[in-house]
Structure formats: structure tokens, C-alpha cells
Amino acid sequence: MKKTSILIITVFIMSILTACGSSADNSQKQETIAKQPEATSMTVESDENVSETNDTAEDTKIVNNETDSVKIAVVYFSGTGNTKTIAETIAEETGADIFEIIPTQAYTEEDLNYNDDNCRANKEQNDDTARPEISNDLSATTEYDIVYLGHPIWWGTVPRIIQTYLETYDLSNATIYTFCTSGGSSIDRSLSDLRAWYPTLNIIDGKRLKDASKSEIAEFCNR
């Protein structure tokens, strides 16, 4: 009888232990299942971060491309070679394409004799209608976003051939910076004249660069 009772009790205890073990296993499985969505959420969030990074990189690439697409030209007329030297330095500093305004009839020393009232340059500067002819095609210069326009100072202002250029080619879509070479005259009058003659042009600023150092030219170009 005692043996039978002990056996029954033993079986009962084992049944309880088995049930508890099964419940613990089920509880662990449920906890594991409950944690899985969190891992999925973290994966999704990580993917979103990667996507945002890619979008940022793409935006940066677009901005850089827009910057790289700005086209710069240096256009100049040089009577004695001084303006040419400055123009070449500006082109080197900015990476610009360079164009020379070449007169059909070249200017000689006699043409530029400032002491002779009857010299060719003096006659042109005193004639508001004078427009010396340009021999080369400069139509490509109308396709640039920024134009550095260089010239010497003749009788206090720009040579008439600069007017020929501006009246032949449409630079209304360009931002224009002027520069000059002169033994003593400033650029103020020529800059004022150009703005008055061509009010539709976006002429931002000008600077006299006669005998300018590379650092001075770089400062002018990188404002």
C-alpha cells in the first residue's frame, strides 16, 4: 500500500515538473519570437540611413557638377602687349579660355603716338562713331558665364575697338569683370563709360592691373 502511494506521488511530481519545463520552453520561444521584429526594425532603419547617405552623396555630386559647369573666358585687346600679359595670367589663374580681339588694321607705334593729335588712335577716341573693325570671329565668347574683359586705357577710357566687340557680340547673359593696363589712369572712367553705353550688360567691377603681381591678380580673380 505504501509502495503504491509513493508511486502515485512520484508520478504526480514528475507530471508537474514536465509541465513546468514545457511552459518554460514555450515562454522562451515566445520571447524569442517577440524580439525578432526589433531586429527587423533595426535592419529597416539601417537601410534607410544608407539610402539617406546615398541621396546626400548624389546631391553633393549635382552641386559639384553645377560648379564645374561654369564657363569662364578672358577676352582682351592689347595695343602694345601689356594687356596680353595680364590676360594670360588671369586665364592661368582661373582656368579660363582666352580670346584676343584682333583689329583688321594693326596699330603701329605711329598710330599710338599720344603726342600727335592727328595719330590714328587719337582720331578714333575723339570720334564717338568710330568702330575699328575686328578681323577674327569671337562668337564663341557669347557662350560663357563669366567674362574677364581686358583693355589698355586710351585717352582716359576704353579703346573704340572694345565698343566694336560689345556691339557685335551679345554678352547679356554673362557676368563681366573688366581689367585694364595703364601708365597712370585709373579704370574708373572706362568702367563708368561702359556701364553708361551698355546698361543691359552685367558689368560687376573693374581693376587696373598694370605691373600687377600674380598674387594681386589672384586676389582680383578670387573675390
> What is the torsional sign of CA 154, 156, 160, 161?
positive
3-class SS of residue 198 = coil
Is pLDDT of 22 > 80? no
Tens of pLDDT along 103-148?
999 999 999 998 999 999 999 999 999 999 999 999 999 999 999 9
Does domain 70-221 fall under CATH 1.10.3370.10? My reply is: no
Instruction: Give the highest mean pLDDT range of 24-28, 66-70, 74-78.
Output: 74-78
Q: Report strand pairing: 146-152 vs 175-181.
A: parallel
What is the average per-residue pLDDT within 180-208?
93
Burial class (CB in 10 A: 0-12, 13-18, 19+), 125: middle
Tell which residue, 98, 80, 79, has the closest CA to residue 88: 98
Q: Report strand pairing: 202-208 vs 146-152.
A: unpaired
Is pLDDT of 96 > 70? yes
pTM of the model: 0.70
What gap in Å lies between CA 8 and CA 97, rounded to an integer?
104
Domain limits of the chain?
1-69, 70-221
Taking a C-beta distance cutoff of 8 angstroms, is the pair 147, 141 a contact? yes
